[in-house]
Chain A
Amino acid sequence: GDSVTQMEGPVTLSEEAFLTINCTYTATGYPSLFWYVQYPGEGLQLLLKATKADDKGSNKGFEATYRKETTSFHLEKGSVQVSDSAVYFCALSNFGNEKLTFGTGTRLTIIP
């Protein structure tokens, strides 16, 4: 079945550091790929998505490129801020909203 393997956390970085959170997937067909973010006390929110190979999703300074050859969708940001502290989930979908497959989540803490 489909699965998502995500970089284990927690991850702690200093403000303005470069961020990479690794995500690889196993899936049949051509899934859509997502990054969701959960800020403290809130629900998951869609951060960015990509629906086909070589697509790049981007939002709020975060980027991720759909790499079919390496089955990866790594999340990057050039300069993190304290407000980026949250839990980040990588996910895929072959069937739309109702059957998203998630990774375990990576807790990111940014220190001033």
Chain B
Amino acid sequence: NAGVMQNPRHLVRRRGQEARLRCSPVKGHSHVYWYRQLPEEGLKFMVYLQKENIIDESGMPKERFSAEFPKEGPSILRIQQVVRGDSAAYFCASSPLAGIDEKLFFGSGTQLSVL
């Protein structure tokens, strides 16, 4: 794997707390994607960002979820006031260009558990 770093690997939160998931893309990659895998389901697209811009957030829940990819630093997926249904594996991927399938690199994921 070409080095997408996600942290933490495991995150435990109580209902109502905030969860912040971090993703450092491969050096030089300016496109970041977030996917969520709920138990017993496939990965589902959430949001696509390109440095400082949200390009497509059609897969994001309308409330409590937000994402950013600042000019400096990692991409952050933020979940406010978590509920048990947010428990899932969250995967980040990066690419140097849009639409080039071979160059999509995934991180190992963050497993969020909401108690």
Binding site for B on A (CB under 8 A): 4, 6, 32, 34, 36, 38, 41-46, 49, 89, 91, 93, 96-105
Contact = CB atoms under 8 A, between A and B. Distances in A.
A44 B41 contact: no
A98 B109 contact: no
Given A45-B106, A98-B55, A34 B48 contact: no
A84 to B, nearest CB: 17
Given A97-B31, A97-B95, 15 more contacts: A36-B106, A43-B6, A43-B93, A44-B91, A44-B93, A45-B106, A46-B101, A49-B101, A91-B43, A97-B48, A97-B100, A99-B45, A99-B48, A101-B42, A104-B42
Interface residues of B, number: 31
17 contacts: A4-B42, A36-B106, A38-B106, A43-B106, A43-B109, A89-B42, A91-B43, A97-B93, A97-B100, A98-B45, A98-B48, A98-B55, A99-B48, A99-B56, A101-B42, A101-B45, A105-B42
A44 B101 contact: no
Given A102-B43, A103-B42, A104-B42, A96 B98 contact: yes
Contacts of A101: 42, 45
B115 to A, nearest CB: 25
A43 B98 contact: no
Which of A45, A93, A97, A105 has the most C-beta atoms of chain B within 10 angstroms of its own C-beta? A97
Given A98-B56, A102-B42, A104-B41, A45 B100 contact: no
A105 B68 CA distance: 28
Task: Label chain A's interface by main secondary structure.
Answer: strand
Interface in B72-115: 91, 93, 95, 98-102, 104-109
Interface string B33-45: 1010100111111
B57 to A, nearest CB: 10
B21 interface: no
A93 B101 contact: yes
